[in-house]
Structure formats: C-alpha cells, structure tokens
Amino acid sequence: MKEEDTAMNAISDRILIVEDEESLRKALVTKLSAEGFRTLESANGEEGLRVALDQKPDLILLDILMPKMHGLEMLSQLRHNDWGANIPVIVLSNLNEASKVAEAAEGGVFDYIIKSDWRISDVVDKVRDRLKEAV
Amino acid sequence: MKAAPIPKNEKERLGSLYQSALLDTEPEERFDRITRTATKLFDVPISTLTLIDKKREWFKSACGIDEKEGKRAISFCGHALTADEVLVIPDTKKDARFFDNPMVIGKPFIRFFAGVPILNSDGQRIGVLCIKDTKPRKFSKSKQELLISLSAWAELEINSRNMSLALNSRRKLEAKLVIQEKEMKNARDAARNVLEDLQVEKEELTRAKAKDEALLKSIADGVVAIDQDRKIMLMNKKAEEILGWSAREMVGKSSFEVWKVADKNGKLIPKKNLPIAAAFRGKTIIADKSYFYIRKDGSRFPVSMTISPVVVKNKIVGVVAVFHDITREQEIDHAKNSFIALASHQLRTPLTSINWYTEMLLDGDTGKLTKNQRDFLNEIHIGSLRMTSLVNSLLNVSRLDIGTFIVNPEKINLILVFEEMLRESYKDIQGKKLKITTDFDNRIPSINADPNLTRIIVQNLITNAVKYTPTSGRIRIMVRQKQQNIIITVADNGYGIPKNQQNQVFTKLFRADNVKAKDTKGTGLGLYIVKSILDAIGGSISFESELNKGTTFTVTLPLQGMKKRLGTRELAFMK
C-alpha cells in the first residue's frame, strides 16, 4: 500500500457494496478495507438504492441477481436521480448476460465484471482506476 | 368344219368346273368303271368322261385311248356340251360339221360319236360322257337313254365327289371354326386379363392415392404448396390446424392474402424478402428462427419452415413449404437458457468465494504464511481456477448446442487480437522457452467479426500450441488473405495427435491419449467450441498432425465476416 493512496482513500472514498451473497460481500469488504477504503453494504437492490441515495458513496459495486430488486433495476432507478446519474458503478456479476448488458446500457456508463474470472486484487485495482477517472 | 360352240354362260360354267376340282386330277376307279361299262355296253372301242375347259377337252376317265386331253375347238365333246340331251353323230363323214375334222380324216379316225352333257350339282355343264367308234353306227333311242343313264351315274359320282369334297371342306371349315373359336376364346381371355390387370392397377392407384392422402394428412408438419402464380395449390390437414384457415378457403387464393409471414414484432415481411421468393429462384431455404406466421384470427406464433422449389422437367412449377409451430420449442429453449443462467450463477458464486479468499490468504492479508501454507493454498487456487475455466467451457458448449449464442460483429484487426492473446500466454511461453515466430500479412483488411468469438478462437489455437509443445519447441503463426477468406495457420513441432484418434479431435471432451498423461489440465472442450463457432459463422477449421513431429491447424474466416446474430447469450471468454 502506498502512502499517497492511503491519503486519497482516507479523504473521500466510500464504496457501497450491493451483493446478496454474504461470503462474497464479506470478502469484498475485508479486501477493500485492507486497502484503505471505507465500505457500506447492502444485501439487496431495494436496500442498496436507499443507502445509495441516502449516503451518497463515491462508487458502487453492484451485483445483478438479487432478491427484492435486482441490480439493473436498481441501476436504472439510480440513474433517474440527479446525483445517481453520475456515480461510478461497477457491475459485478456471475452471469454473462449480454442481452441484459445491452438493456443496461440504458443504465448509463458502467463496468461489467464477471466475478469468477477476476482476482479480487484486480477488482480493487479496477475500483481505484474508476475513482481516478471520476476525479 | 365347225368349231365347238361356246355356250353363253361360259364364265359361270368354267367357275363351276373349277369348283368341282376335277381337272388335272388322277384317274379314279369309280369314273373308270363308268367308261368301261359304256364300252362294254355299247360295244364301242372308246369311251371318255370329258371335262370341257376353256381351250381344251380333258379326260377324267378315258377308256380305249391314251391321250389325256385334246383341243376343245375340234372336239366332239365340245359340241355335245351344248346338246339338249344327247348328241349323236352316226357317221361323221356325212356330217357337215365334222366331215373334215382332223380326228375324222386323221387319227383316231372317228366315224361314230354319241355324247351326253354332264351337269355339276349347280346345274352347269362341265363336261360330257361320250362313246366313239371308228365305223359308223346306228344309235337307237333306247341306247341313247342308256347312255343318258350312264351320264346320270357319272353325275352322281361327281356329286358324291363334290359332296365328299364339300364334306371335307366343311370339316376343314369346322376345324377352322373350332380353331377360330378357340382363338376368340383366347382373345376374350386375354382381354379379360388385361381388364383385370387394369382393374388391379386402378385399385393400386386408388390405394396409392389414398395412402398419399393419408400420408399427407398425417404428416405432423403443415404442408402448403404454391404454384407459379403464387396461388395456393394444396394444403394438408395440419396446415389447416396450424393456420386456422380451411383448405377450402385457402386453395386457389393468392398466397399473400392468406399465408402471412411476419417478423417478431408482427411486421409483415415484404414480398421480395420472403423465403418463397428465393425458392422460386431455385433455392431451398431453411428458416427456423426468425419468422412468425399470423393465423386467421390474427394471432401470431413462431414457426420453423423449410421451403423448396418443385421442379418438373427442369422447370420450377411451384414451391412447397413444410412448417411447424415452434412455440413449445422456443419455450423449452427459454427454459434451458434460464436454467443455464441460473446454473452458471450458482456454480460460479462458490468458485468466486474460494478464489477470492484463497487470493487474500496468498496476498498475506491474514498474516505471513509458512512455505507449506503457501504451497497448499496455491494448489487450492489452481484447482479452483481450473474449475472456473471448466464451468465457462461447459456454459459455452451449452449455448452453442442450443444455438442461442450472440454474434455482435465489429470491425476487428485480427493481428491485434493475436498479439493480445500471445501476451496473455506470455508466462507459459517464457516458462517453456518456446520460440514463437509470426508472419502477419499487414495488408489484411479488418474483418467484421464478434470480438468475443474471435478471441475465443485465437486463444484456443495459441493455448493448444503452447500446451502441447515441449520445452524449447517452436510455434509458427501465419495470417494471410486468400481470395474472399482469411487463412490462419498455427504450426507447432510438439507432441502431435495420434493418427487413430484424429477423427475425434473436434468432439466434446476429447483429449488424445498421448497428452492426457503429460498434462491433465485440459478440458477437451476447446476445439469443439471453436469448430462450432466457425461452423455457425461460415468459417472452417482443419489440421494436419504427426505423432511427436507436430501439428498444424488451419482456420478459415470469411472476409465478409460474421453475420450479426440475434441469439440471446454471449459466449464466455475467460482471461
């Protein structure tokens, strides 16, 4: 961990993790925290939307297949919000549903990562990159 | 001398004479009996039974002379032919008609003649019975009557001969009749047989027609035939059921009126784009995905159809379409896809968990690890990564099999894809000290291809070459353009594929025996996936290989690229 990264992290970066699988959510929280990020968690889309609009994190890691409201639905609603229209979103999924991807292109710009194909440290790198771009 | 007169009915007379069939026949005892009797009875040297022919007198029986015939004109019998009952010449020398007759003044010197005409059964005078002497004689009335009786006897004999001839000819006729009757019977039987055969054939035809109709009726697919004027010629029961129109309503009508083909949004396909247009140009079209039919009641359903031209004597006379409703199949497809999506999600989630926690342990997030801990965790990680790769391959195979994978073409620089995939395999290439040579033709245009699918193909070719070539081996990659295709060649000098297993190379889960022992990591699905993709986009793949010498794979990609394919699912590409 570099000092400058820590400094940057400490100032601003809160990551909202919306993921219904507890094991994966816990892993992400652990890793991101270890890398110096602050984290927020939600276990479904409905809660995730509420927390997002309420807490206004700096980036959202979003799963798709979730109970109550799935990720793309949440994303679509998020984008209708003035603040929500611009927040960086990385979709983390284990589906390669390209048709859903096309559908979700209406959900504005976002990254699409297949969890089982990515190392967790690479996910963290991606988070950093997106945050850098957003600045 | 007076020549013997020709009677008026000479023609009929001759006819009758010839009918008697006596002329020029052998002498017969029953006639010789008569002439003999005559000579004895009248005490004359000569007696003949003469037949008067056109120009001659011919003796059926002659007693006392050797001649068989003589000239009619100078004959006595010729004269006697026209006599009423009998012609008597007591002294020829004293008769003005005969005194200078050659037979009087010369041999045989006839001085006396008496002759009676012989009548055939039809009354015609055909000859004469006569007696002759060399000296003049008196011939009393009673003697004349005797001669007349003898002539009657001759007539009887002729008649009986006629009768037996007639009987014979009648018998012959009868025999002929019997034969004719038999022939007629045969002809009748033959005709009857032909009729029966015809009947049998007719029944066969009726049966065949009934069979055809039954077949057509029971074909589980709808069948519609259209003639050159685009009118409906016939349709079967299933078509009626599927479309909701009865054959009565549809036959004879323009196909555009009643057979409506639309896309998935219900928009009617324009006439020139309809598959039947292509069929009329001679093509057979199999359209099993994108078309919908609209029923009589306006409802829409997805359909799979095959349309082909009907050719009679090299001319296209119509088009026949066979189709069935695939609503159920599409439902099953959707169900399958949902299942796969769910399965993929369910399989990948625990794998992700294993991967990430193992990675975090290996990254030292929980503290320093001992060597053993590190090694064991590596093993777990490797196993988990392999599992992930296998799940991806299985998902791809499922999608390929269902045929629902997406093709999203973009302009692609193939060479860049190769360079990217080579970079990905860099670690393995370095580790095995493999020598890679590339020969890329820079003039190759970019092709329209789905980047994902292209990566899968290239990655597979490269990783296979790397995997199956031993340390310090050589891999040569060539990309060239040839007419309307791009040809990719990947040649290695590695383990090769045993000849007796080469025909299985593109089958699912196949791994050759010689590499299974060396490397247990392969899934055996890569080439199956690559071939399936290439088949679907109009490309091809082939190889040449020799055990322990190496393998060369050749892939052909059409320059026109991949057609955009709607499908529903992207294939998985794993880094």
Asked whether B404 and B567 are in contact (CB, 8 A), the reply is yes
Among chain A residues, the shortest Cα distance to B342 is held by: A95
pLDDT band at B521 (very low <50, low <70, confident <90, very high): low
Q: Are residues B137 and B17 in the same domain?
A: yes
**Chain B interface includes A27 (CB < 8 A):** yes
Strand runs labelled E in B483-539: 485-492
pLDDT at A2 over 60: no
pLDDT band at B529 (very low <50, low <70, confident <90, very high): confident
Structure-block tokens of residue B67: 């001649």
Residue ranges making up the domain that contains A120: 3-130
Asked whether B388 and A53 are in contact (CB, 8 A), the reply is no
Domain count, chain B: 4
Last-in-domain residue among B150, B169, B188: B169
CB-facing half-sphere around the CA of B226: CA atoms within 13 A: 23
**Chain A interface includes B359 (CB < 8 A):** yes
The CATH number given to whatever domain includes residue B309 is 3.30.450.20
Q: What are phi and psi of B495, to 5 degrees?
A: -70, -25
For the segment B367-425, what is each residue's pLDDT rounded down to a tens digit? 999 999 999 999 999 889 888 888 888 777 777 776 666 677 788 888 888 988 898 88
Domain count, chain A: 1
A97–chain B nearest CA distance, Å: 6
Last-in-domain residue among B325, B349, B377: B325
What's the pTM? 0.50
Nearest CB to B349: which of A94, A118, A121? A94
Residue type, B122: D
Q: What are phi and psi of B297, to 5 degrees?
A: -85, 5
Last-in-domain residue among B169, B187, B206: B169
Look at residue A62 and tell me if it is in a domain: yes
Residue type, B503: N
Flag if B352 and A98 touch (Cβ within 8 Å).
no
For the segment B126-156, what is each residue's pLDDT rounded down to a tens digit? 999 999 999 999 999 999 999 999 999 999 9
Best mean pLDDT range from A97-101, A113-117, B494-498, B507-511: B494-498
Nearest CB to B388: which of A96, A101, A117? A117
Q: Are residues B159 and B42 in the same domain?
A: yes
Nearest CB to B568: which of A65, A99, A120? A99
The CATH number given to whatever domain includes residue B152 is 3.30.450.40
d(CA B365, CA B406): 40
**Chain A interface includes B565 (CB < 8 A):** no
**Chain B interface includes A100 (CB < 8 A):** no
Residue ranges making up the domain that contains B445: 410-558
Look at residue B467 and tell me if it is in a domain: yes
* DSSP symbol at B27: P
B124's CB contacts (< 8 A; 6+ apart) are B9, B12, B13, B15, B16, B17
pLDDT band at A11 (very low <50, low <70, confident <90, very high): low
Instruction: Give A-chain residues touching B360 at CB under 8 angstroms.
Output: 27, 30-31, 120
Strand partners, B292: B262, B302
Among chain B residues, the shortest Cα distance to A93 is held by: B345
Look at residue B392 and tell me if it is in a domain: yes
The CATH number given to whatever domain includes residue A61 is 3.40.50.2300
Look at residue B32 and tell me if it is in a domain: yes
Cis-peptide, bond into residue B108, ω within 30° of zero: yes
Q: Are residues B16 and B165 in the same domain?
A: yes
